């Protein structure tokens, strides 16, 4: 499939049209950003790691019956995906308290959340991705009622699959963000799943192995991503 014009450049990925209108190429860049793009750095190997990590996770989810946009890896830092009509919504599930939940509700980091919480956020950098609820989504027609139900169902199915996958590799899946889009009348999981968009802690030491290392200036960001990939058996060759 031929790579054509750039369709969109986000903070860490660029998306290209192809000669097939149903497919896109995603380029995972080394750019790493936090705080709505206020802190930006280039981290060597991160694009490759997130590309291969995302492909591995999407394949695991497909095997478990969860439909995703992923088609195949094209190179170290590029993947072929189905072209979705993305919903402007982020779905977040939290198994353990951390991040904005602690700031918002004044709760301590590290509390087990049973049942896990679910939150919707509007994808809007200028507004700092504000939290929204089902009613906002309906009132502004960001998704249909059926899509709201489906997003919640799929996000929790992902939790069941990935909590176990990470636990078996010695990690706690603290929380994560998913994005969905429409494709030929179906809702598919889009975007990426990598340590950039989830929190992963070592099961014994609770050491952070995700983008919080970058956000909090802890260092060893790429080394942590590599550690996560190695523990899961992701092929980095
Ligand atoms: P929080 O709301 O605590 O900042 O984030 C919850 C989870 O969703 C974390 O795992 C975080 O990495 C992810 N997340 C939330 N918003 C974004 C975003 O805009 N970009 C990325 N990459 N991850 C996000």
The per-residue pLDDT for 36 is 87
Band (140; pLDDT cuts 50, 70, 90) = very high
Which pair of tokens denotes residue 35? Answer: 């705080």
Task: Give the binding-site residues of ligand 1, using a 6 Å CB cut-off.
Answer: 90, 92, 99-101, 129, 175-177, 196-199, 211
- Asked if the peptide bond before residue 157 counts as cis, ω within 30 degrees of 0, the response is no
Separation CA 56–CA 63 (nearest Å): 11
Distance 129 CA to ligand 1 centre (A): 10
> What is the DSSP pairing of strand 85-86 with strand 13-18?
unpaired
Distance 47 CA to ligand 1 centre (A): 18
CB 113 within 8 A of CB 175: no
Separation CA 117–CA 119 (nearest Å): 7
Please, which residues have CB within 8 angstroms of residue 97's CB and are 6 or more apart in sequence?
Answer: 107, 108, 109, 110, 111, 113
pTM of this structure: 0.98
Give mean pLDDT, residues 84-94: 98
Q: List, for residues 118-137, the tens digit of each pLDDT value.
A: 999 999 999 999 999 999 99
Which of 174, 177, 51, 200 lies closest to 211, judged by CA? 200
Nearest-atom index, ligand 1, CA of 12: 22
């Amino acid at each position: 499939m031929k790579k054509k014009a750039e369709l969109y450049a986000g903070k860490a990925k660029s998306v290209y049209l192809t000669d097939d209108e149903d497919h896109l190429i995603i380029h995972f860049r080394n750019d790493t950003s936090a705080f709505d793009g206020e802190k930006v750095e280039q981290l060597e190997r991160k694009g490759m790691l997130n590309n291969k990590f995302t492909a591995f996770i999407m394949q695991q989810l497909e095997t478990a019956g969860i439909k995703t946009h992923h088609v195949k890896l094209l190179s170290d830092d590029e993947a072929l995906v189905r072209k979705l009509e993305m919903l402007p919504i982020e779905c977040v599930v939290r198994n353990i308290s951390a991040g904005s939940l602690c700031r918002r509700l004044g709760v301590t980091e590290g509390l087990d959340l049973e049942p896990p919480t679910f939150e919707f956020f509007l994808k809007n950098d200028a507004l700092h991705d504000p939290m929204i609820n089902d009613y906002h989504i309906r009132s502004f027609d960001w998704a249909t009622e059926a899509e709201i139900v489906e997003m919640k169902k799929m996000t929790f199915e992902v939790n069941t699959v990935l909590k176990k996958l990470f636990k078996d590799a010695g990690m706690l899946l603290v929380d994560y963000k998913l994005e969905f889009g429409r494709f030929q009348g179906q809702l598919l999981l889009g975007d990426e799943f990598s340590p950039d968009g989830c929190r992963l802690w070592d099961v014994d030491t609770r050491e952070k192995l995700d983008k919080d290392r970058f956000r909090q200036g802890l260092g060893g960001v790429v080394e942590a991503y590599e550690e996560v990939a190695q523990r899961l058996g992701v092929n980095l060759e």
